[in-house]
Amino acid sequence: MGALVGLGVGCGLLLIWSAFALPRGDRPVPRTPGRTAELLARAGIADVSVTGFVLLCAVTGVATAFVMQLVSGTPPVAVAFGAMAAWLPVATVSSRARRRQREFAEVWPEAVDNLVSAVRAGMSLPDALAGLGVRGPEPLRAAFDQFALDYQVTGRFGESLDRLKDRLADPVGDRVVEGLRVAREVGGGELGRLLRNLSGYLREDVRTRSELESRQAWTVNGARLAVAAPWLVLLFMSFQSEVVHRYASAGGVLVLAVGAGLCLVAYRLMMRIGRLPVERRILS
């Protein structure tokens, strides 16, 4: 009896030890995309690797710094413009992501109305979603066409919805997809009413956001021009060697560093004050 108890205790201790001593690489750890990967997904270019995107930023910065060094012959000026050029791909992708999200927000009410019509006509929920790849709004057709292919190949509605969410990378899309998932799991008796309420809310949100963006557009653009103006002046000065060489001294480097810091702080402050509330993705 004592040997049996000892064997049981030993097995228990062995299991506890293996739970903590197992290398982390052998454990199924869920991976969440980094900020760069999420930005690429929101911009609709998830096929671009993070490594390739970072390499593009580095090459752009180095090439610009090299050209500015040839033009101005002043290393601090070349480094300043190289840093701005390295950030240019990030700014371009961020602008593309915001534009894509605005396009999705404008067409989601129409897509939801199409779903309501399909459900009323007696179509199943997967068929109604697949139909958006043909008769849905143009910006959403590719994603729902791929959903139809995924569902046709696997026959798994939940997994196809997860891939659809990853492909859209859109907060409104997350809300629609999760509502459809819940409706599918609980029977969908209130699916039509849910979709109609969601469509009305989305239209009101788009109308309100459009009014606010149109009112603040001139303020934001003016602030961006004010931040860019000193660097445009410096760019034109780079073609005058006797003037721009003054920035090669310690005082010139200090002026460039302080100016860059102030411009960065002012720009970030302006964007924080003027930005509208951004909806976050759910269950992504």
**The pTM is what?**
0.76
Residue 62 has pLDDT above 90, yes or no: yes
CA distance 13 to 75: 64
20 located within any domain: no
Residue 97 has pLDDT above 50, yes or no: yes
Round to the nearest angstrom and report the end-to-end CA distance of the chain. 53
**Top-confidence residue, 46 or 254:** 254
283 located within any domain: no
Q: Quote the pLDDT of residue 84.
A: 92
Mean pLDDT of the chain: 81
3-state secondary structure of 250: helix
Supply the DSSP string of 129-187, one letter for each residue: HHHHHHHS-HHHHHHHHHHHHHHHHH--HHHHHHHHHHHH--HHHHHHHHHHHHHHHH-
12 located within any domain: no
7 located within any domain: no
84 located within any domain: yes
The whole-number average pLDDT for the span 154-181 is 86
- Contacts of residue 3, Cβ cutoff 8 Å, sequence gap at least 6: none
If pLDDT is split at 50, 70 and 90, which confidence band does 7 have? very low
281 located within any domain: no
Q: Quote the pLDDT of residue 16.
A: 59
pLDDT in tens, 73-85: 888 999 999 999 9
130 located within any domain: yes
Closest CA to 279 of 108, 53, 49: 108
CA distance 242 to 232: 18
pLDDT in tens, 184-241: 776 656 677 777 887 888 888 888 888 877 777 777 787 788 888 889 988 888 888 7
CA distance 105 to 129: 17
The parent domain of residue 195 ranges over 39-274
CA distance 199 to 111: 9
Q: If you compute the radius of gyration of the chain from its CA atoms, what whole number of angstroms results?
A: 27
Residue with tokens 């201790």: 13
Is the separation of the CB atoms in 132 and 141 below 8 Å? yes
Q: Quote the pLDDT of residue 25.
A: 42
CA distance 236 to 149: 54
CA distance 85 to 62: 8
The whole-number average pLDDT for the span 242-261 is 87
Number of structural domains (the chain) is 1
pLDDT in tens, 252-284: 889 889 988 988 888 888 777 767 666 666 665
